[in-house]
Amino acid sequence: MAEQTRKRVLSGVQPSGNLTIGNYLGALQQWVAEQDNYDCFFCVVDLHALTVPQDPATLRAKTREVAALYLAAGIDPSRASVFVQSHVPAHTELAWILTCLTPLGWLYRMTQFKDKAAKQKQESVGAGLLSYPVLMAADILLYQAAAVPVGDDQRQHLEITRDLAQRFNHLYGETFVLPEALIPKEGARIMGLDNPLVKMSKSEASEYHAVYLLDPPDKIRKKIMRAQTDSGREIRFSTDPQRAGVNNLLTIYQALTGASREAIEAQFDGKGYGDLKKAVVEVVVDTLTPLQERYQALIREGGYLDEILAQGAARASEVANATLATVRERIGLLPALTPVSSKS
């Protein structure tokens, strides 16, 4: 196996829509914070996006967009490997091997499968949607990742990854590192602005549901000023579902400013919901403006991004292929030999 000095991290985002402030707070912001603490691998999980129908041209464009957003958010390609999942074929090969070890019952239990399948007609739900967690397990286990920085919604998928690693290790000998989920203290589950009882999601169609990372300031302002609140007046963190809208705005504010709950509640004491919304607009715009400037520069340069992705895939392949070779050997797959006639 490839020599490993620092512990590894692996995480990714699907290029299945416009990245939201939820993706930023649950994933990207943490990735940036961890890139010096771990040997990091961040991929654009394009194969995961195929679990629901995608337009080919849009998928290609979104894959580059998401990669550029990683860099614009502060991922430094000299410190972390940034790549596209489908550029490293080991992901699909390990996914198949793990699929053969996965009881169907584990997959039917996944809440994300149940939620996404419920939105489609039963007969058209793709098998990929069901086996998605196995591909995610392969993504993580190939890199022997010790930690996986994700939002709260991915907790269950991390558990199945650990279960699969344990099952493999038990059957074939110690092979995989058991990964831990790294869930941020604040911002692990940002809720929809138009409906604070559902998770903010990039594939939700409604216009006022999410702030996208590439939204211009006037759009950000409009979306936040229209965010659903309640008829109360108190600006306090709360677990009461009736107050979920205000709690969500406070959570966004806290995750972006890093201020304590007490300091934030004191700051808004005696103020109205309009004041809170204005403050959230300001901090979101201040965070996203420099990110958007860096993004535009990266897209203008074009070739730079492609080079980073090529280098990232080469580094990722080295690590992933080493793990896969061990797996192939352990489960008894016959090694492929090069024909004598083609050796010169």
Distance CA(133)–CA(129), nearest Å, equals 8
| Chain positions contacting ligand AQP, by CB under 6 A | 13-14, 16-17, 20, 22-23, 25-27, 150-151, 153-154, 188-190, 199-203
Distance CA(103)–CA(101), nearest Å, equals 7
Helices (DSSP H) in the chain: which residue ranges?
Answer: 21-23, 29-34, 46-49, 56-73, 90-99, 104-108, 111-118, 127-142, 155-172, 217-225, 244-257, 261-267, 273-301, 303-331
Q: Which is nearer to ligand AQP, 11 or 102 (CB)?
A: 11
**Least CB distance from residue 189 to ligand AQP, whole Å?**
5
Residue nearest to ligand AQP (CB): 26
For 46-78, give the secondary structure using H, E and C.
Answer: HHHHCCCCCCHHHHHHHHHHHHHHHHHHCCCCC
What does DSSP assign to residue 11? Answer: E
**What number of other Cβ atoms are within 10 A of residue 213's Cβ?**
24
What are the residue numbers of the active site? Answer: 116, 199, 202
Q: Which is nearer to ligand AQP, 84 or 327 (CB)?
A: 84
Q: Which is nearer to ligand AQP, 16 or 323 (CB)?
A: 16
Which of these, 156, 155, 151, 152, lies nearest to 109 by C-alpha position? Answer: 156
Q: Which is nearer to ligand AQP, 199 or 221 (CB)?
A: 199
**Least CB distance from residue 148 to ligand AQP, whole Å?**
8
Phi and psi based region of residue 17 (left: phi greater than 0; alpha: psi -120 to 50; beta: remaining): left
**Least CB distance from residue 86 to ligand AQP, whole Å?**
15
**What number of other Cβ atoms are within 10 A of residue 216's Cβ?**
12
**Least CB distance from residue 263 to ligand AQP, whole Å?**
22
Task: Give strand pairing partners of 20.
Answer: 212
Tokens, residue 200: 């903010």
Q: Which is nearer to ligand AQP, 23 or 292 (CB)?
A: 23
**Least CB distance from residue 242 to ligand AQP, whole Å?**
20
